[in-house]
Amino acid sequence: MIIVTGGAGFIGSAVVWKLNALGRDDILIVDHLGRSDKWKNLVNRRFRDYMHKSEFLAQLEAGRLGKIEAVVHMGACSSTTQQDADYLMENNYHYSVALARFALKNGIRLINASSAATYGDGAAGFSDREDRLALLKPLNMYGYSKHLFDLWALGSGALNRLVSLKFFNVFGPNEYHKGDMISMVYKGCRQAVTDGAVRLFKSGHEAYADGEQKRDFVYVKDGAELIAWLLTHPEVNGLFNVGTGRARSWNAMAGAVFRALERPVNIAYIDMPPALRDRYQYFTQADMGRLKAAGCPVAFQDLEAAVFDYVTRYLVHNDRCL
């Protein structure tokens, strides 16, 4: 059996989609559905059972879940504006450490979701080398909670026995429930259709013109493909970036949305909210050398191809799920 925590969420449900495509349905979904619509991500999926995250660790440690092949740990609060630091410490850090300790003790493959938010303003670069970890200074508590797990994995000697994936700007189907944290591809498509213009933040940095702030955009389908490959290659462990290795501007992203919609490009620049100004990343670009050196064959799609697939196959048909 494969356990997917956060299995009803964005990346987690995409992993379940990929596993189903490979013929696997011996899957336990662990999540907290609450009052959100993310349950809809499970409607098209095949899995053995669902368990609330509050019950999961106790059931796991009591040995009541049967034989476990792997845990894909995508469950976390991913809001970069979450202000409750105690909650993030407990939910993102301590929960993950407890799960990792159990998996390692019992010889269970563990694939963990870290984040590019750990890189902060990028002053220390975007290398996933272990000897660079201590140099990183996250700009928000979410990034710090993920960074703490990576530091624990390194310091405890666990990092060479598990995988921790630093996801860059992921977008794609199954993200519709994420509220303010939904991707700008989704928001931009909706704005382009309803208002005829995509709204982007003005730049507050002299080195970047408006809309020329850059991100490494990665399609969720490619992330799921990577995790499926890692599940079949238990010899590959460590810390790895997940991105295309190519930084692209928000203007390029908006342009790709308009081209997919076959509409003229129309971008409006708006002021950045004060709460984001001191925590805003102006540039991210994954160093993908270590993952390539590990033999990963996944070809991450470029921005235009991924946006075209997302917009034309899903968003314009109001089909938001894989």
Q: Hey, which residues are catalytic here?
A: 142, 178
**Which has the closest alpha carbon to 183: 26, 6, 11?**
11
User: How many Å from the N-terminal Cα to the C-terminal Cα in the chain?
Assistant: 22
One-letter amino acid of 221 = K
Residues sharing a CB contact under 8 Å with residue 224, sequence separation 6 or more, in sequence order = 11, 14, 15, 17, 18
**SS3 sequence of 152-197:** HHHHCCCHHHCEEEEECEEECCCCCCCHHHCCHHHHHHHHHHHCCC
**Which has the closest alpha carbon to 282: 79, 118, 142, 123?**
123
Task: Point out which residues pair with 200 in neighbouring strands.
Answer: 269
